[in-house]
Amino acid sequence: MLIRYVLADLLRNPRRTLSTMVGVTLGVGLFCGVLFFVDGLSASMTQRAVAPLAIDMQRIATERTGGSLGLTQSFEPPGRLAAGARARVVLEVTNSGDVDANEVTVRSLPGPGLRFVVGSAEMDGEPVTAIDDSPFAHGPGNTGLNLGSVGPATSHRLSYLVEADTDVELTDAAVATSQSTRESVNPVAANEPSSVSLAELATLVAGVDGVADAAPLSLADLGPDTLSAGGVAAAGPAKIFGFDGDYARRDATIDIVGGELTPDGAVVSAEAADGVGVGVGDRVSILLPDDSTLELPVTGIADLSRSRSLFSSRRGGDLETFIYSRNSVVVSPERFADTVQPAFERAAAARGTRLKSPPIREIDIALDRDLLHADPATAATQTTRIAAEVSAVAAHQDYLLDNISNTLAVASDDARVAKRLFVFLGVPGGFLAAMLAAYSGTVLAEAQRREQATLRIRGASRGHLLRMLAMRTALLTAIGSVVGLAIGYLAAVVILGQESLARASATSLATSAVLGTVGGCLATGIALYLTGRRSIDREINEDRARLSVRPPLWRRAGLDVIGVAVVAIGTLVALATHAFDGVPGSVYFGRAVELNLALLVLPVAVWITGSLLAARLIGNALDRSQPKSSASVGRPLTSLFRLSVGRRPWAIGNGAIVVSLIVALATSLAAFTASYDAAKAEDARYANGADLRITPSPTAPRPYTIDDADVFATDGVAATTPVIYGLSNVILRSDRTSDPANLAAVDPVSYPTVAPLREIRFTTNGAATAFDSLQHDPDAILLSEDMADFLETGPGNTLNVLLARATDQQVEVELHIAGVYQRLPGFPDGADALMAIDRHDAEVPTKAPDFFLGAAAAPDDASLDRAVASLRAGPGAADDLQIDTRTSTLAKDQSSLAALNISGLVDLDSAFSLSMAVVTIAIFVFGLLLSRRREYITLRAQGLESRTIRLLITAEAGTVALGGVIFGVLVGSAMGFYFVKVLRPLFVLTPTYTLPIGGLAAPVLLVLAATLVSSLAASRLVSRLEPTELLRDE
């Protein structure tokens, strides 16, 4: 019976039902939307995280430059050794290579249950007597026996006796024996299988499940003047690579612009070809470390300047550094193995010391990324398994650099942070939804008050009414939740795209659906039920007492004051403990973003407290503005308005709280997004050096000089500047010491206008003064803090700089230090010193700029795109230009920042917030209408124009909207400021707080427009009300 009544009530009052349900729908929609968003995002994090990775895994062959040394171990007699019995351990060391193995050390340590028999050690049949204990594990460090050099095709037989304390099975595990050499310091256990060749290893690794491709690569550094042709040597050091055509085809950044890679020829880098004046068909000479010369025909010219797989650093902890060598030559893997590698081995053997830079031989492994799980944590488990299997193939002869697992490990940490962050950012929306539900519940209760009174008169008990309320709430929340679930899914699809969500697992989506629906349902349902219950419990006779100007509960409890205290104390504690300072995440450093989520309480506290304070101010101001009672009323509209808002200030105040909360959330999200985007763009711009970085291709037909910056000043490019820069391109010498360094030479006038400089990056005098010195003093040089510390020098001191180091143009100049900086934009590898480009050009006139930096005409992305298009159409049409922009740099960002897609979440939150703002205003206006329709009808009957009534409704709703909007923007600005402070670790540079005034226009106008439209709609309803019936009803 009750359920039928409730159903009929809901169906026959569709407007009321819908307005109540919309709060539930939006709440559940937001909860589900955020969760689906997180699912979709997590599902794309793996792909995003690994996309910039050049090489998934690298099997680096250990240094075997000393030759192929083998060690076998056997026991005489073999098998089980009884307690008290003795056996001889026989070790055979053999050099099967063709060069000496030096400092060959054999270490053998009997395990538990076995003891070395003193005096039993022999070498090639002779006792080893010089050492009292075991010569194979001597002293506290268990030092092995140094055999000295072992020549090619030479072997040594070593042996010693062991005695068993207990029964022991004689296996390799019972006696740990290994060998190492000067050339290969990593100990190799006895009886290890003989090492396989690089090609064999690649084939074996390629067969591992999950590996898409494995290709061998060898590379080695050659000294200066080692690459020549016809007696002309390429200036500077050279690099030699060994890889085949398949490897080149797999890596799109290896661009063979002429000819091809053949087994017997060499491909030369474009710069080297220019330097020595060769083309395809000519011959080049490569001077190898053992002073032998490799002469090869040039079969191809290549642009290798963008190849990250070839030039990324192989040093641990420095893997992101791109160390380019202009003078590069590529030979076939066979040629490298047959000729280059032995030359290095011979050099190592002949010089008697370890080579500073031995050749690196590796297998570059690409995984089948399509098989990787969308969730980075799961994908990391997969890649770790693959890494283990790859390592198990021909183990112990090399080590594995597992780049992809490292990246995914960081990404999975970031994903966890992102989920927490997203849920946090979604929580205010959820809170709003509950408030909205409570607010609409209040209006519903208001509308049903009369019906409930009638039911009571007819005998309905409180229990009946509560059961009906529970049924009504359950029905509204159930239907609202289903609709909200669909809306949430659609919202996530709109923002992320169907493809992203399709990648998420069904379990994950189902879990989100259940969590979102149940969570949203509970939050809004409870809010709805509690407001209805309070209404039922209120005595009917209290209706008129509602006129009382008694402040609401939160005001009487002083919640706003408590909130102020929380914010103040929290801020002070955070400042005192430097909690706002964060460490940015970095994939390269294996460090995920770390957010102090406890701090996130602060923006929420600012949000709620600010809105309550706003309501207090509005309520108090209206209360004070109410006119004293007078029979002389004045103009009806203004008088009625002043009397209404003055005598019912908290109705306005409470409405303003909801609007303020919504507008504040939208404002803070807009401010956060603007600050985030600006900071990210600034980070990327800083990394790129400017909006644009134009690097002419080494194969470009036109040589560029420092006076050619204007060539790139095309439409949309405001300014350009040339830059000379290189790794270890100078030697800096102070009075105390010297060191190779990376020098940048820039134009001190145009560089500061193009590059993003911040005063804080200069520790002495500031950027303006420093560049002024460079401009006016040709002997001035700026030094990085680190380099100044290393050289033990500082401003005012002289510094000798060997320019164009290791080239035939090298020249030493004496400069003096004019300033010290922390770091400069545009040099990810670090610029140790900075000098004026004119002075550099005067000293080394043949040195061309390495790249040009450019500033776009306007800071927006469209201007940047226009600038790139004009560059491509202009100078880019004639020459192959590499154009990096701040956006392309941002896209390459491998850190978690790129994967977070905060903008998407903010869009989701904002869309729901704005929907809620519109609904709130509508509910307020129609709530006003419901509760005051008798007043309006009475006024109509008294002869008040409909227009005046419409204006009255609009004025009241407008007061709520305007008050809410004004305070919402203020509160949101403060909330956004706290958001940016708390989320500081998401940025590399300290973000500048940005409040997008223009961007706020949309939500503000939307709220005001919703007010106007709702008021007009409500006025029309007033006109359509049946006055005769309403006026006679008691």
Pairwise CA distance, residues 781 & 240, whole Å: 34
Dihedral pair phi/psi, residue 87, rounded to 5° = -145, 155
Torsion of CA 561, 567, 568, 570, to 10 degrees: 140
Q: Does 636 bind another protein (CB under 8 A)?
A: yes
Q: Does 647 bind another protein (CB under 8 A)?
A: yes
Q: How far is the CB of 443 from another protein (least distance, A)?
A: 18
Contact, 587 vs 581, CB < 8 A? no
Q: How far is the CB of 628 from another protein (least distance, A)?
A: 9
Shortest distance in whole angstroms from residue 967 CB to another protein:
24
Residue given tokens 């008290």 in the structure block: 84
Chosen residue from 348, 574, 640, 916 binding another protein by CB under 8 A: 640
> Per CB under 8 A, does 959 bind another protein?
no
Helix residue ranges, H only, 458-558 = 462-496, 498-503, 506-537, 553-557
Q: Pull the structure tokens for residue 912.
A: 């729901």
Binding another protein (rule: CB under 8 A), the pick from 644, 915, 959, 1011 is 644
Buried/exposed code over 293-315 (b: 16+ C-beta within 10 A; e: otherwise) = ebebebbbbbbbbbbebbbbeee
Interaction with another protein in 912-951: which residues (CB under 8 A)?
A: 934-935, 938-946
Q: Which is nearer to another protein, 684 or 960 (CB)?
A: 960
Q: Cβ closer to another protein: 733 or 950?
A: 950
* Beta carbon of residue 445, minimum distance to another protein (angstroms, whole number): 18
Tell me, by CB under 8 A, how many residues bind another protein.
Answer: 37
Q: Return the number of the residue (863 or 946) whose C-beta is nearest another protein.
A: 946
Distances (CA, A) of 519 to 31, 427, 515, 944: 7, 11, 6, 48
Task: Provide the 3-class DSSP secondary structure of residue 810.
Answer: coil
Q: Is 507 in the site for another protein (CB under 8 A)?
A: no
How far apart, in whole angstroms, are the C-alpha atoms of residue 338 and residue 340? 6
Q: Identify which range of 741-749, 814-822, 955-963, 1021-1029 contacts another protein by CB under 8 A.
A: 1021-1029
Check: CB of residue 130 under 8 Å from CB of residue 90.
no
> Which of 511, 512, 523 minimizes the C-alpha distance to 430?
523
Determine if the peptide bond prior to 77 is cis (ω within 30°).
Answer: yes
Q: How far is the CB of 514 from another protein (least distance, A)?
A: 40
Residue 550 touching another protein (CB under 8 A): no
* Least distance to another protein, CB of residue 552, Å: 17
Scanning residues 610 to 629, which ones bind another protein (CB under 8 A)?
629
Q: Which of 209, 370, 539, 1034 binds another protein (CB under 8 A)?
A: 1034
The minimum distance between CB 1030 and another protein, in angstroms, equals 9
Token pair in block for residue 328: 């590069």
Output the smallest distance, CB 458 to another protein, in A.
19
8 A C-beta contact, residue 167 and residue 81: yes
Binding segment for another protein among 384-392, 573-581, 634-642, 977-985 (CB under 8 A)?
634-642
Select 517 or 931, whichever has its Cβ closest to another protein. 931
Q: Which stretch binds another protein (CB under 8 A): 72-80, 417-425, 607-615, 1026-1034?
A: 1026-1034
Task: Give yes or no for residue 153 binding another protein (CB under 8 A).
Answer: no
Q: Using CA atoms, how far apart are residues 943 and 301, in angstroms rounded to an integer?
A: 94
Look at residue 972 and give its three-state secondary structure: helix
Out of 565, 633, 862, 1001, the only residue in the binding site for another protein (CB under 8 A) is 633
- Per DSSP, helices labelled H in 648-700 are 649-688
Sheet strands side by side (includes 175-180) = 145-150, 101-110, 175-180, 188-189
Query: Of 370 and 1034, which CB lies nearer to another protein in the complex structure?
Result: 1034
Closest approach of Cβ 625 to another protein, in Å? Answer: 14
Give kind and range of the element (H or E) at residue 158.
strand 154-164
Instruction: Provide the minimum distance between the beta carbon of 1025 and another protein in the complex, in angstroms, as a whole number.
Output: 10
Between 130 and 631, CB nearer to another protein: 631
Taking the least distance from each CB to another protein, the nearer of 506 and 547 is 547
Q: Of 487, 482, 578, 472, which is closest to residue 531 (Cα–Cα)?
A: 472
Backbone angles phi, psi at 669, to 5 degrees: -65, -40
Q: What is the DSSP letter of 339?
A: I
Q: What's the 3-state SS for 977-996?
A: HHHHHHCHHHCCCCCCCCCC
Taking the complex as a whole, the smallest distance from the CB of residue 35 to another protein amounts, in Å, to 43
Helix, strand, or coil (residue 37): helix
H helix count then E strand count, the chain: 30, 33
Cα–Cα distance between 1034 and 1027 in angstroms, integer? Answer: 13
* Rounded Cα gap, residues 216 and 329, in angstroms: 16
Distance CA(100)–CA(662), nearest Å, equals 78
Instruction: Phi first, then psi: give them for residue 373, nearest 5 degrees.
Output: -65, 150
Q: Which range binds another protein by CB under 8 A, 113-121, 641-649, 800-808, 842-850?
A: 641-649
Give dist(CA 925, CA 946) in Å, integer: 16
Closest to another protein by CB, 42 vs 644, is 644
* Stretch of 32-40, 110-118, 828-836, 1019-1027 contacting another protein, by CB under 8 A: 1019-1027
Work out which of 459, 635, 877, 1024 binds another protein, going by CB under 8 A. 635
CB contact set of 122 (below 8 Å; sequence gap of 6+): 128, 157, 158, 159, 160
The DSSP line for 595-662 is: --GGGGHHHHHHHHHHHHHHHHHHHHHHHHHPPPP-S---SHHHHHHHHHHHHSHHHHHHHHHHHHHH
One residue of 556, 631, 796, 1024 binding another protein per CB under 8 A: 631
Stretch that binds another protein, among 539-547, 586-594, 745-753, 894-902 (CB under 8 A): 539-547
Quick note: the x/- pattern for another protein over 563-602, rule CB under 8 A, is ----------------------------------------
If binding is defined by CB under 8 A, does position 639 make contact with another protein? yes
Question: Is position 194 an interface residue for another protein (rule: CB under 8 A)?
Answer: no
Is 454 a binder of another protein (CB under 8 A)? no
Between 692 and 939, CB nearer to another protein: 939
Choose, by CB under 8 A, the member of 77, 634, 703, 845 that binds another protein: 634
Q: Is 632 in the site for another protein (CB under 8 A)?
A: yes
Residue 1033 Cβ vs another protein, minimum distance, rounded to whole Å: 6
CB of 446 to another protein, least distance (A): 14
Of residues 27 and 653, the one with the C-beta less far from another protein: 653
Contact window for another protein (CB under 8 A) among 44-52, 89-97, 501-509, 637-645 = 637-645
Residue indicated by tokens 């030092």: 143
d(CA 574, CA 68): 61
Q: Does 545 bind another protein (CB under 8 A)?
A: yes
- Nearest approach, Cβ of residue 939 and another protein (Å): 8
The single residue among 356, 544, 578, 1024 that binds another protein, judged by CB under 8 A, is 544
Q: Which two tokens stand for residue 1001?
A: 């226009």
Least distance from another protein to the Cβ atom of residue 554, Å: 22
Q: Which of 11, 547, 553, 877 binds another protein (CB under 8 A)?
A: 547
| DSSP string covering 378-393 | HHHHHHHHHHHHHHHT
Nearer to another protein, 315 or 624 (CB): 624
Give the nearest distance from C-beta 928 to another protein in angstroms. Answer: 13
Q: Are 227 and 269 in contact (CB under 8 A)?
A: no
- Interacting residue ranges for another protein, rule: CB under 8 A: 544-545, 547, 629-636, 639-640, 643-644, 647-648, 934-935, 938-946, 1023, 1026-1029, 1031-1034
